[in-house]
Chains A and B, each alone.
Chain A
Amino acid sequence: MIESVIDFLLNDPIGIVILTVIKALALLVPLLIAVAYLTYAERKVMAAIQLRKGPNVVGWFGLLQPFADAIKMMTKETVIPSGANRVLFVMAPMLTFVLAMLAWAVIPMNDGWAIANINVGILYLFAISSLGVYGIIIAGWSSNSKYAFLGAMRSAAQMVSYEVSMGFVLVTVLLCAGSLNLTDIVRAQTKVWFFIPLFPMFVIFFISALAETNRAPFDLPEGESEIVAGFFVEYSSMSFGLFFLGEYANMILMSAMTAILFLGGWLPPLNMEPFTWVPGPIWLILKICALLFTFIWVRATFPRYRYDQLMRLGWKVFLPFSLGWLVLTAGVLMALGWLPNA
């Protein structure tokens, strides 16, 4: 009986589809719960940094707060402005949310534990993260509101700018790993995690990740003090909720990407006894949590960048530096004969 079910799942075309859906659910359901608790963690951590208590009323230590927020969000009225382009207005938050979920297909949780272990995994992640800007532009334009449009314009310029240096960081990493496959990239870090030899690139990647996810200090697209709430000013209820979930899912995704590219993914810090007892996925989750904490820490610590400073940092500092470091890395690998697969 069990053998026949396993055979059906692994070999029958319909079985393979069912198995993939089960795998996707096994990843997405914990991810959504993680997103919910990330909002809670953000409020608690920021509260601790600012010497407040944070949410502490709903449930034990306020642990049910995310669910209370979700219920509040779902029971509110969805308002569609009369001047809005209705189809695009409704589509934009869905697009943001779907893209944030889509990228998780290639993230390996352990050696061989990826839903799609594709050869061009890193390019897939880069492609999906570069599409995130569409949800924001479409939301800004279809709202037919000047603040929303200003926010969308800022966001488009910002995300396109920081993608460029991010691309160079990715090229540097894959030069060292010799593969575009994420599992192979993690395996290449068995001896030393890439954040040690490529430390400046690690820093640039993390800062670019902040800019890509529109997080503080790069949250100009929202800019509540100048343009109210930026691109999602006209959204309410669950359509706002999808933007909110998408932003936090993107934060987790960017942390996972950083962990896989620079912090050795599922690998333990040292390949010896007490560390190897802990299974790989736990290590990856710990690394993601540490990076997420840094995201929140940065938000509570730094003031928002001015728009021209943001552009200057992206184009005049990160771009030349990452390009130079890429050439340097390639030169060192070539001169010392350290190129992988050579």
Chain B
Amino acid sequence: MIVDFFFYLFAAVLLISAALVVSARNPVHSVLFLILAFFNAAALFLIAGAEFLAMILVIVYVGAVAVLFLFVVMMLDVDFEQLRGGFQRYAGVGAIVGAGLLFELAVVFGGWTLAPNAEKLRLSPTPADVTNTEALGRVLYTDYIFLFQAAGMVLLVAMIGAIVLTLRDRKTSKHQNIGTQTRRTVAETLEIVTISLGAGTTESGGFLRPKAPEPEPQPEHEAAGGHH
């Protein structure tokens, strides 16, 4: 009874917040509703007994991906009113594209047949004596190891792509060489001058004076990760 109540509660909140994601006027509110939707989906996973998936959903999507979404949406300052302005003009084209997609989906579902063994596989329950984290690990790292590795490679390629797009050397940027900094000693940085009383302030000052920094050699600059 309590489980049913919570199922309908979470499902209802999930659907409402999903609808609000697309209809909210403020993009930041949209992202926050998206986060709420993720949360309720995680709660539904918990009710289904998939605690590992629930936690991973929260950690990966809510804790990392949505943070970046929120970050970008807050920084960009997109004017959504302006984007919505052409609604009347593009409604016809949109309707045609939507109808085409719906027709294609209908064709696909019309010719849908299940592979003979699929139903059996789908219904195979978690082994009774292990937690579902372990059960997941047992199939993921044995039967599906190639798919798992392939997913990892796809993510790696995406990551390299993002780095290539953003890494560019502006000639004005200065790279810090931590090794050189930590190797510096007091002896080669400061010059201690003893000057008799009254003679100090005229030319050099009787203070600890920093030595003029040596000009930074060009090769190090390139070795620090810049393009040519």
Contacts and interface: CB of A to CB of B under 8 A. Distances in A.
Interface stretch (B55-63, B94-102, B111-119): B55-63
A308 B59 contact: no
Given A127-B63, A134-B35, A120 B71 contact: no
B167 interface: no
B71 A153 contact: yes
A17 to B, nearest CB: 8
Contacts of B62: 127, 130-131
A88 B32 CA distance: 10
Contacts of A130: 58-59, 62-64
User: B-side binding surface: helix, strand, loop or mixed?
Assistant: helix
Interface in B1-34: 1-2, 28, 32
A130 B57 CA distance: 12
A19 interface: no
A156 B67 contact: yes
B133 A156 contact: no
Q: How large is the interface on A (under 10, 10 to 19, 20 to 34, 35 or more residues)?
A: 20 to 34
A118 B46 CA distance: 11
B63 A123 contact: no
Interface residues of B, number: 25
A133 interface: yes
A123 B52 contact: yes
Contacts of B63: 126-127, 130-131, 133, 163
Interface in B44-80: 51-52, 55-56, 58-59, 62-64, 67-68, 70-71, 74-75
A100 interface: no
A137 interface: yes
Interface in B111-137: 131-133
Given A134-B35, A137-B67, A160-B64, A127 B58 contact: yes
A149 B133 CA distance: 39
B178 interface: yes
B196 interface: no
B82 interface: no
B176 A308 contact: yes
A274 interface: no
Given A123-B55, A131-B62, A160 B133 contact: no
A53 interface: no
B28 A180 contact: no
Contacts of B70: 134, 137, 156
A127 B55 contact: yes
Contacts of A120: 51-52, 55, 133
B132 to A, nearest CB: 8
Contacts of B51: 118-120
A202 interface: no
A149 B28 CA distance: 14
A325 interface: no
Most interface-central of A119, A127, A138 (chain B CB within 10 A): A127
Contacts of B1: 13
Contacts of A163: 63-64
A118 B133 CA distance: 12
A205 interface: no
Contact of A141 (B35, B74, B132, B133): B74
> Which interface residue of A13, A120, A137, A141 has the most chain B CB atoms within 10 A?
A120
A97 B71 CA distance: 22
A213 B121 CA distance: 45
Nearest to B28: A141
Nearest to A159: B67
A95 to B, nearest CB: 11
Interface string A154-166: 0010001001000
7 contacts: A123-B55, A126-B55, A127-B55, A127-B63, A131-B62, A149-B74, A163-B63
Interface of B: 1-2, 28, 32, 35, 51-52, 55-56, 58-59, 62-64, 67-68, 70-71, 74-75, 131-133, 176, 178
Given A119-B131, A127-B55, 8 more contacts: A120-B55, A123-B59, A134-B35, A149-B74, A156-B67, A156-B70, A160-B64, A180-B131
